[in-house]
């Protein structure tokens, strides 16, 4: 796994996680969303840009704490689970909301990625 810069704003840099083959679940989800639901796509991209420029909003309808350093960027139908610390927001997993809870397999996968983020971030910063 490695991190790649997705968006750099005045306050935060938004990064995504790529696997060894260069694939990124979040980017693939966003690409599909841009074709299937343009309104939700535009809303999510605008929220990410606003987070990058201005940092954490106080509105939990937009940016909600989940557990540890994990947060949720929300639109009406879409959720993006992200790791946040300092000026770094790392997008880990994106999905369409299906219920009030995050499915256990998603939660486990996200936690495994989150545990590796500090190391991946150090590698990313050395490369930039």
Residues 109, 50: Cα–Cα separation, whole Å: 27
DSSP β-ladder status, 78-85 and 63-67: unpaired
| CB of 24 closer than 8 Å to CB of 2 | no
For the chain, what are the domain ranges?
A: 2-127
Among 30, 41, 29, which residue's Cα sits nearest to residue 76? 41
Residues 21, 121: Cα–Cα separation, whole Å: 18
Mind listing the pLDDT tens digit for each residue in 54-80? 988 888 888 888 988 899 998 888 999
2-127: CATH superfamily: RelE-like (3.30.2310.20)
For the whole model, what pTM was predicted?
0.90
Mind listing the pLDDT tens digit for each residue in 89-120? 999 999 988 777 788 888 888 899 999 999 99
120's enclosing H/E stretch is helix 104-127
């Amino acid at each position: 796994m490695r991190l790649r810069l997705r968006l750099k704003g005045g306050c935060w840099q938004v990064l995504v996680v790529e696997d060894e083959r260069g694939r990124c679940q979040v980017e693939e989800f966003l690409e599909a969303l841009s074709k299937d639901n343009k309104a939700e796509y535009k809303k999510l991209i605008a929220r990410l840009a606003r987070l990058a420029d201005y940092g954490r909003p106080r509105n939990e309808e937009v940016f909600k704490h989940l557990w540890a350093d994990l947060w949720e960027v929300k639109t009406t139908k879409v959720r993006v689970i992200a790791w946040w610390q300092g000026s770094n927001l790392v997008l880990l997993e994106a999905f369409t909301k299906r219920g009030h809870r995050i499915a256990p397999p998603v939660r486990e996968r996200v936690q495994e990625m989150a545990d590796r983020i500090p190391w991946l971030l150090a590698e990313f910063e050395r490369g930039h």
